[in-house]
Amino acid sequence: MRPPILRALAARAVALFAAFGLLGTPTLAAAEASTVRISYGYGILYLPLMVMDREHLLEKHAKAAGLSDVKVEWKTFDGGNVINDAMLSGALDIAGIGVPGFLTLWAKAKDNPQVEVRGLTGMSSSSMYLMTRNPNVKKLADFTDKDRIAVPGIKTSLPAVLLHMAAAKEFGDANYAKLDPITVALPHPEALAVMLGGKGEIDSHMASPPFSYIEAESPNLHRVFNSVDLLGNITLDMTFASRRFVDANPKLANAFVEAMKEACAMIGADKRKAATIYNDVRKSKQPIEETLKILEDPNSKFSAVPEGTMHYAEFMARIGTIKAKPTSWKDYFFVPITSSPGS
């Protein structure tokens, strides 16, 4: 039998070779990760992850699965490009993201086992508003090259793609990117400050809740369109991970799915507590009653089961922003969520 130090060195060598893809079929069973890095963004669409964070739900379900002492590192990233870059660089294991941003990376990484990604769960749906302070803008056709529309990420973020879908509906698929020249990348909190401040070249914002609700209360701003009117109440934000992470950590991945289910159920059962968690995580000065009003809106829904995600995939494949067209939502989600009646 090898001395303990030699066994430790051998195990480290196996781990290093595996990390750089230099091993074929593994011959040794590896322990699952003891630390998992997860990100969420700024808005209330990420609330289930915030609840999971504050209530330690992943740790709870990991322990129930026999994984003791799992440490969770929570990070904040916003915008599809930023999140995807963090995932590809190895800075994240699981991320919350808008569906279009995920589909962009899924299509690029499809069939490449080194970087392939799939969805773990759905997460949230709500209404997003295109807000403006330009009194002359009542519809998309009214925007000119003097306007600027803030989105958290150009082209691939959820707000950017919703803007594409709205433009395609109004101007035709060939002109889906008609408004791209006047979009500006800016995180939601900064965009909110600019919109309420009333100064600067940015006069419009494709806003997610709670920022959309706050802006809608301003007498100097008005809404151009509501995403629910455009698409119905479909999943806006979801979670995803790399195949490499899920294959190496099947129990931890399943524990995450169960934690997401519990987080969504907790929001539904106690919206006031959920509102308090949101305000606490975001250090928001918004009154709890205002946050609660958003959660009580019938358009605000939280579920681990994805709904309507193929609307994005079909649109993005049709206009060519993704090259791989899935035949079903199950093509880009991992089990066990694919056993659910999603779409």
Is 275 domain-assigned?
yes
On whether both 87 and 209 belong to a single domain, the answer is no
On whether both 226 and 139 belong to a single domain, the answer is yes
For residue 300, pLDDT beyond 80 = yes
Is 268 domain-assigned?
yes
On whether both 202 and 270 belong to a single domain, the answer is no
On whether both 299 and 313 belong to a single domain, the answer is yes
On whether both 145 and 201 belong to a single domain, the answer is yes
Is 26 domain-assigned?
no
Is 11 domain-assigned?
no
DSSP helix/strand/coil, 324: coil
- Predicted local confidence at residue 78, as pLDDT: 75
| DSSP codes joined into one string, 19-84 | HTT--SS--SPPPPPSEEEEEE-SSGGGHHHHHHHHHTHHHHHHHHTT-TT-EEEEEE--SHHHHH
- Predicted local confidence at residue 22, as pLDDT: 40
Is 296 domain-assigned?
yes
Is 327 domain-assigned?
yes
Q: Give first-to-last CA distance, the chain, whole Å.
A: 53
On whether both 93 and 122 belong to a single domain, the answer is yes
For residue 10, pLDDT beyond 70 = no
- Predicted local confidence at residue 84, as pLDDT: 86
For residue 60, pLDDT beyond 80 = yes
- Predicted local confidence at residue 30, as pLDDT: 63
- Predicted local confidence at residue 1, as pLDDT: 43
pLDDT digits (tens, 9 = 90+) for 207-233: 999 999 999 999 999 999 999 988 899
| Domain that includes residue 314, residue range | 32-126+235-339
| Stretch 282-296: mean pLDDT | 93
For residue 321, pLDDT beyond 80 = yes
On whether both 108 and 146 belong to a single domain, the answer is no
- 216 neighbors 304 (Cβ within 8 angstroms): no
Q: Count structural domains, the chain.
A: 2
On whether both 247 and 106 belong to a single domain, the answer is yes
DSSP helix/strand/coil, 155: coil
For residue 11, pLDDT beyond 60 = no
How confident is the prediction for the chain on average, in pLDDT? 90
pLDDT digits (tens, 9 = 90+) for 146-198: 999 999 988 888 999 999 999 999 999 999 999 999 999 999 999 999 999 99
On whether both 283 and 162 belong to a single domain, the answer is no
Res. 77 pLDDT band, cuts 50 70 90: confident
**Residues 6 or more apart from 147 whose CB is under 8 A from it?**
132, 134, 137, 182, 203, 204
For residue 67, pLDDT beyond 90 = yes
Is 301 domain-assigned?
yes
141: domain CATH number is 3.40.190.10
| Stretch 232-250: mean pLDDT | 96
Is 2 domain-assigned?
no
On whether both 134 and 255 belong to a single domain, the answer is no
On whether both 164 and 256 belong to a single domain, the answer is no
Helix (H) or strand (E) holding 94: strand 94-98
Q: Where are the alpha helices (DSSP H) in the chain?
A: 4-19, 47-55, 57-64, 80-88, 99-109, 158-171, 188-197, 211-216, 227-231, 243-248, 250-269, 271-281, 288-295, 310-319
For residue 245, pLDDT beyond 50 = yes
Which among 208, 243, 249 has a CA at the least distance from the CA of 98? 208
For residue 29, pLDDT beyond 70 = no
Query: Which of 210, 231, 252 is the last residue before a domain boundary?
Result: 231
On whether both 226 and 242 belong to a single domain, the answer is no
Where is pLDDT greater, at 324 or 30? 324
Query: Which of 174, 203, 231 is the last residue before a domain boundary?
Result: 231
- Predicted local confidence at residue 154, as pLDDT: 87
Query: Which of 231, 252, 278 is the last residue before a domain boundary?
Result: 231
